[in-house]
């Protein structure tokens, strides 16, 4: 079961990287920063996408684990 959860985590993580990157690019989050702060904008973009992807993948694998234990 552990291998299955790792595979699910990896797939959801990669999927959420794409989805969250697309959502962040479509939003106007750069208006939160002062003009010319390109480094800060890039760091915020990377950290936000990474955290959203990790938390979503972790929650999804925990959900699968709970459902598996309930059905078992």
- Predicted local confidence at residue 16, as pLDDT: 96
Average pLDDT of the residues in 2-13: 94
Q: How many domains does the chain have?
A: 1
**What's the domain range around 36?**
2-71
pLDDT at residue 47, as a whole number: 96
Q: Kindly report, residue by residue over 41-61, the tens digit of the pLDDT.
A: 899 999 999 999 999 999 999
Q: What is the pTM of this model?
A: 0.84
DSSP labels, 33-66: S-TT-HHHHHHHHHHHHHHHHHHHHHHHHHHHHH
Contact 56, 27 (CB under 8 A): no
What is residue 59's predicted lDDT score, i.e. its pLDDT? 97
The pLDDT of residue 37: 87
């Amino acid at each position: 079961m552990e291998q299955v959860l790792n595979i699910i985590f990896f797939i959801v993580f990669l999927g959420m990287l794409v989805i969250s990157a697309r959502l962040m690019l479509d939003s106007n989050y750069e208006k939160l920063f002062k003009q010319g702060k390109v480094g800060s904008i890039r760091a915020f973009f990377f950290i936000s996408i990474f955290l959203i992807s990790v938390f979503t993948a972790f929650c999804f694998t925990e959900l699968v684990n709970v459902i598996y234990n309930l059905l078992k």
